Amino acid sequence: MWAHNSQGLAYVIYLVWLGFGCVDFAIHRRTALALTSGLRESALHGLQMLLVGAGVLLWAALDSSRAVAALLACIAAAHAAAAYADTVVAVQERRVTPLEQHVHSVLDIAPWTFVGYAAWTAEPTWTLTWQPQPLWVWVALVLPTLPTVLLPWMAEFRAAWLAGHSD
């Protein structure tokens, strides 16, 4: 019973996480990121999304274990380092509002929440075993990322690229 209920709750938290990512990109547009911190900051956003995406896809591809949770913790630590670098770049070039700071607090804690969920539900083994989730799980994980974070990031990166290369 707990596993089924926890999966539903974990998915809702995942969707909320994506929603906060979407809000963050809207804030970036409003603060003219493309014209200020530009490609440097947008590239760091891409790195953070790559790390998070890799973690989600690894979780979906591998059997639940302590090894998977440890791997996800390493990815979350790398995400935290990239997020710190992102903030350093942002505050040097543009105003980071209190709203954006609070949105970032959710985006910063979400990977660690995911690690906690993976560790809590992990089998007590240290193996990395290929056991992909059913197709519908992959679709449920990947599809919502398109409108919430992937397309907004692509638009942000393109705008920053064009702003940096206009003559």
Side chain identity, residue 147: P
Instruction: State the SS3 of 32-87.
Output: CHHHCCHHHHHHHHHHHHHHHHHHHHHHHHECCEHHHHHHHHHHHHHHHHHHHHHH
Question: Does the pLDDT value for residue 63 go beyond 90?
Answer: yes
Rounded to whole angstroms, the Cα distance separating 160 from 62 reads 36
Question: Does the pLDDT value for residue 165 go beyond 90?
Answer: no
pTM for the whole structure: 0.94
| Mean local confidence (pLDDT), 100-127 | 97
pLDDT attached to residue 6: 84
Share of the chain above pLDDT 90, in %: 93
- Place 167 in a pLDDT band, splitting at 50, 70 and 90: very low
Residues contacting residue 36 through CB under 8 Å, at least 6 positions apart: 93, 94
pLDDT attached to residue 24: 98
The count of C-alpha atoms lying within 13 angstroms of the C-alpha of 127, restricted to the half-sphere facing its C-beta, is 7
Rounded to whole angstroms, the Cα distance separating 150 from 103 reads 17
Q: Which of 149, 167, 120, 133 is nearest to 57 (CA)?
A: 133
Are 47 and 88 in contact, with CB atoms under 8 Å apart? Answer: no
Are 112 and 42 in contact, with CB atoms under 8 Å apart? Answer: no
